[in-house]
Amino acid sequence: MHNMFSFALMLVPTASVLCQVEPVGRWFEAWRRRNIHVSASFQELEDEKELSEESGDEELQLEEFPMLKTLDPKDWKNQDHYSVLGLGQLRYKASQKQIKAAHKAMVLKHHPDKRKAAGEQIGEGDNDYFTCITKAYETLSDPMKRRAFNSIDPTFDNTVPSKSEAKENFFEVFAPVFERNARWSNKKNVPKLGDMSSSFDEVDAFYSFWYNFDSWREFSYLDEEEKEKAECRDERRWIEKQNRAGRSLRKKEEMNRIRTLVDNSYSCDPRIKKFKEEERAKKEAEKKAKVEAKRKEQEEKERQRQAELEMARLAKEKEEEEARQQTLLMKKEKDIQKKAIKKERQKLRTTCKNWNYFSDNEAESVKMMEEVEKLCDRLELASLQCLNEALTSTTKDEGKAAVLKQIEQVNEQVRREKEEAEARMRQATKSSEKSTSGSVGGSKNWSEDDLQLLIKAVNLFPAGTNSRWEVIANYMNLHSTTGIKRTAKDVINKAKNLQKLDPHQKDDINKKAFDKFKKEHGVIPQADSAAPSERFEVSFTDATPWTTEEQKLLEQALKTYPVNTPERWEKIAASVPGRSKKDCMKRYKVKPIVLFCFFFFLFLRIKP
């Protein structure tokens, strides 16, 4: 009878009674192992583990939360429930038994009835801090609520190391971060970051796992509204919709954080760089092998061509050397001629200066100085040498006569060149007018007012305007006083003709337009010798004269902002510092001829 035993258990005063007792449960199994020497089963080991956990719970040392009595019961949701129960060190690793034991200990110590019996004043209803202990236990004892609270653990470090922090110690910086975030993974057996000895497959598996990271972290604990408080079904649905939207946004931010962590780690990982270099070296080796094979294949052909190339190179070098010598010789002769011309010009200037430019009057001296400079620019070396020889061997009066004679010849030559250019321009204008005689209004003359109107229209409607030349033609037909109807073809042909004008003819048109303005506005004429650019800078009606820079800014602004621009004059005034909208409008109205001349020269550079 190996599984039962009997012994005398009780002694009574009258007689002894023999009882049979059969051990059961784990006590019987322990007795059996001791006596029969059998090993423990898996369930037995689990029972022993449970017993050890129970003994561990009994020895659980709780941490007193120093701020417990100062907590606001109404703000229980924003409090650290683990710290409230004294489990601040264990946190999410605490078991349910440990949570239950911690709650029991906190109740025994902080229950309102016990504190009231000790003479402590207790708040009414839910105003006592004991409410925080109750709420903390309700949250952590429920697996779903605890999971929601663990998702927003206030002690969890969400920071992501930057690239600059891991330049020298990559593994020391990123390994703890990945281990910390591994707690959120739905999949177990999260791969480790490894070290420099990790293989390519291990590194690839690590980054593949984290780039496809499946997180269980959810943010329902942060819901602003509780659907249980809804008064009707519609309000409950609305609250659920708002909560889903908030969770989705926080989940997206969390996944962006994880992605940023993985991206920073991948970009700083020295193993990735090593693998890329190995791959690059491998490709380079393959490429080098192919190149070497091709080189050997072409080596024979190259040797055959080498002799021919050498002969061609020697012939080319010989030709280049001859050309270089010829160029050096021509350059040397040219430099000698330049030096000689410069010397003769300086000699002429010095001689005329020593004789005070053959005049005692300052104005005549200045005019003669200009003529002498014209001689220096127009005369050839031989003419300068002859003139200097004549001035060296003659008196002042004879020298003056020689210089005046030479000046007269140069002026005559300039006049002839100008007449020839004007003749060519007139011939070109006649040919252009004949070519456009078949169009309506093409053979009709263009007055100066029409030319001015054409130039103004071209600048008002710059290149890029939709149906530009039709718009310009309509603008001219609307504002012209001659009554002649112009077509787009007429306008284009005239614009081309204006572009072909001789520079001297441009100056004449400019001068006529300016003289017309002076007549209409009663301006006192200035000296004819004043340059057009100097005349354009004179201010006739403005209290503060317009500088050349301001004039250029105004003209550029007029071109930038055409007439159809909203708030055109405000934008133009903003482009001219120191000038108001009124000043710009007054300058534009009072100076039509000045602007006309500028637009005329600008128009000549615009291709229709």
| DSSP notation for 531-579 | -HHHHHT--SS-SSPPPHHHHHHHHHHHHHS-TTSTTHHHHHHHHSTT-
Instruction: Please enumerate in sequence order all residues whose Cβ is within 8 A of that of 542, keeping only pairs 6 or more positions apart, or say none.
Output: 583, 586, 587, 590
Of 553, 572, 552, nearest to 562 (Cα)? 572
pLDDT value for 58: 46
Q: Are 60 and 101 in contact (CB under 8 A)?
A: yes
Residue 95's φ and ψ, nearest 5 degrees, are: -85, 170
Q: Are 166 and 174 in contact (CB under 8 A)?
A: yes
> Alpha-carbon distance 95 to 111, whole Å?
23
DSSP 41: P
In angstroms, the Cα distances linking 395 to 384, 392, 398 are 18, 8, 5
Of 387, 418, 385, 392, nearest to 403 (Cα)? 387
Q: Is 199 exposed, middle or buried (0-12, 13-18, 19+ CB in 10 A)?
A: exposed
DSSP 502: -
pLDDT value for 18: 66
Terminal Cα distance for the chain, rounded: 125
pLDDT value for 437: 53
Of 181, 183, 192, nearest to 257 (Cα)? 181
In angstroms, the Cα distances linking 88 to 144, 154, 508, 509, 608 are 20, 11, 97, 95, 83
Residue 51's φ and ψ, nearest 5 degrees, are: -65, -40
Tokens of 6: 């009997």
Residue 185, SS3? strand
Tokens of 29: 């199994």
Instruction: Please enumerate in sequence order all residues whose Cβ is within 8 A of that of 92, keeping only pairs 6 or more positions apart, or say none.
Output: 82, 150, 153, 183
Helix axes 503-521, 592-603, angle to 10 degrees: 170
Neighbours of 345 (CB within 10 A): 19
> Alpha-carbon distance 81 to 142, whole Å?
13
Tokens of 326: 């010829």
> Alpha-carbon distance 33 to 592, whole Å?
121
> Alpha-carbon distance 404 to 390, whole Å?
13
Residue 388, SS3? helix
> Alpha-carbon distance 115 to 123, whole Å?
11
Helix axes 396-435, 362-378, angle to 10 degrees: 60
Paired residues of 19 in beta bridges: 7
Neighbours of 367 (CB within 10 A): 14
Of 261, 270, 276, nearest to 196 (Cα)? 270
Q: Are 271 and 195 in contact (CB under 8 A)?
A: no
Residue with tokens 């683990």: 82
Tell whether pTM > 0.85.
Answer: no
Tokens of 356: 């005070």
pLDDT value for 43: 40
In angstroms, the Cα distances linking 488 to 67, 82, 471, 562, 608 are 89, 87, 8, 20, 11
In angstroms, the Cα distances linking 141 to 81, 94, 137, 144, 548 are 11, 11, 6, 9, 85
Integer-rounded Cα radius of gyration of the chain: 52
Tokens of 246: 């908030």
pLDDT value for 34: 60
> Alpha-carbon distance 591 to 456, whole Å?
13
pLDDT value for 409: 85
pLDDT value for 501: 64
pLDDT under 50 in the chain at which residues? Answer: 1-14, 37-58, 438-443, 523-542, 593-595, 601, 604-608
> Alpha-carbon distance 366 to 151, whole Å?
95
DSSP 188: S
**Long-range contacts, 474-481 (Cβ 8 Å, 24+):** 476/450, 479/453, 480/449, 480/450, 480/453, 481/449
Of 211, 215, 227, nearest to 251 (Cα)? 215
Residue with tokens 């002429």: 348
